[in-house]
């Protein structure tokens, strides 16, 4: 993917540096965010900057190329989904080094592209931690934002989610859980399907462990994914909000 130096990048980086603070940078680190190349600027502030900058694909590519944490988040907010290529998706996914970059890219930009559905399934089958998380985060984004997709498309994601549940890596299992919960909150039919999926995941974990507690890390991970999802999806709050 070819990028060129954008004339606005230096000024934007200077603005981001001025907006940053060591206090916010330390707060980001406490939440498990990689702050090695970060200024310490909140997402709310970045969205305000993005609104002023407007949509600009070339600028987004240049911001991403800087390697700065906030610049990359900003790139996700100003890029044009219609111009994002398959090559760009793969390149950016390889660059992920923190959960917030992964999640903002997948749910603020990638899920709006024509490649979203294919990448969600493809990446969920990859082994690299951040790319795999991206696959499931992308599913969560699609469940929340793709209003035109029918139930069948989301039903096809449930077996992929089921296979991903035993991943013992914390950032992956949380994204698997997120995808399952978001699919199950779209409507009543998908809620029932997601609950059934969670129950299968939990039953399989208990069978592997020979009991309802303990087991190896993969078993405990799968059980957590299922139990946490069931807690929300079967709750009175979610059930009252669902539409047929």
Q: Domains in the chain: how many in total? A: 2
The torsion defined by the Cα of 84, 88, 92 and 95, in degrees rounded to 10, comes to -170
* Euclidean distance between CA atoms 72 and 65, whole angstroms: 8
Q: What is the mean pLDDT of the chain?
A: 95
For the chain, the maximum distance between any two Cα atoms, rounded to a whole number of angstroms, is 62
Number of helices (H) and strands (E) in the chain: give both, helices first. Answer: 15, 0
Please report whether residue 92 resides in a domain.
Answer: no
**Domain of 43?**
1-79
Here the CATH number for the domain that contains residue 230 is: 1.25.40
**Does residue 97 have a pLDDT over 70?**
yes
> Do 110 and 14 lie in a common domain?
no
In Å, how far are 49, 93, 94, 97, 161 from 38, measured between CA atoms?
16, 18, 18, 12, 32
Q: Check: CB of residue 142 under 8 Å from CB of residue 190.
A: no
Q: Is 75 exposed, middle or buried (0-12, 13-18, 19+ CB in 10 A)?
A: buried
> Do 72 and 129 lie in a common domain?
no
Q: Check: CB of residue 184 under 8 Å from CB of residue 194.
A: yes
Q: What value does the mean pLDDT take over residues 175-199?
A: 98
Per residue in 210-226, pLDDT tens? 888 889 999 999 999 99
Please report whether residue 94 resides in a domain.
Answer: no
243 pLDDT tier (thresholds 50, 70, 90)? confident
> Do 59 and 111 lie in a common domain?
no
Give 125-129's long-range contacts (Cβ < 8 A, gap of 24+): 125/160, 129/169, 129/171, 129/172
């Amino acid at each position: 993917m070819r990028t060129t130096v954008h004339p606005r990048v230096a000024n934007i980086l200077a603005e981001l540096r001025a907006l940053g603070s060591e206090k916010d940078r330390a707060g980001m680190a406490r939440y498990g965010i990689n702050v090695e190349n970060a200024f310490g600027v909140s997402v709310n502030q970045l969205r305000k900057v993005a609104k002023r900058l407007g949509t600009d694909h070339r600028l987004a590519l240049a911001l991403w190329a800087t390697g700065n944490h906030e610049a990359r988040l900003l790139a996700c907010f100003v890029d044009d989904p219609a111009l994002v290529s398959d090559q760009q998706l793969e390149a950016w996914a390889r660059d992920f080094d923190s959960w917030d970059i992964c999640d903002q890219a997948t749910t603020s930009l990638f899920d709006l592209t024509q490649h979203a559905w294919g990448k969600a399934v493809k990446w969920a089958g990859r082994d690299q931690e951040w790319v795999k998380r991206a696959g499931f985060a992308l599913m969560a984004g699609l469940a929340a934002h793709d209003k035109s997709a029918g139930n069948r498309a989301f039903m096809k994601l449930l077996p992929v989610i089921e296979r991903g549940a035993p991943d013992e890596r914390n950032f992956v299992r949380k994204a698997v859980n997120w995808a399952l919960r978001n699919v199950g909150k779209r409507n009543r039919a998908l809620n029932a399907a997601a609950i059934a999926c969670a129950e299968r995941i939990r039953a399989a974990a208990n069978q592997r462990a020979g009991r309802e507690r303990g087991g190896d890390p993969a078993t405990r991970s799968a059980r957590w994914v299922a139990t946490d999802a069931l807690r929300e999806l079967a709750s009175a709050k979610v059930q009252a909000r669902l539409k047929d």
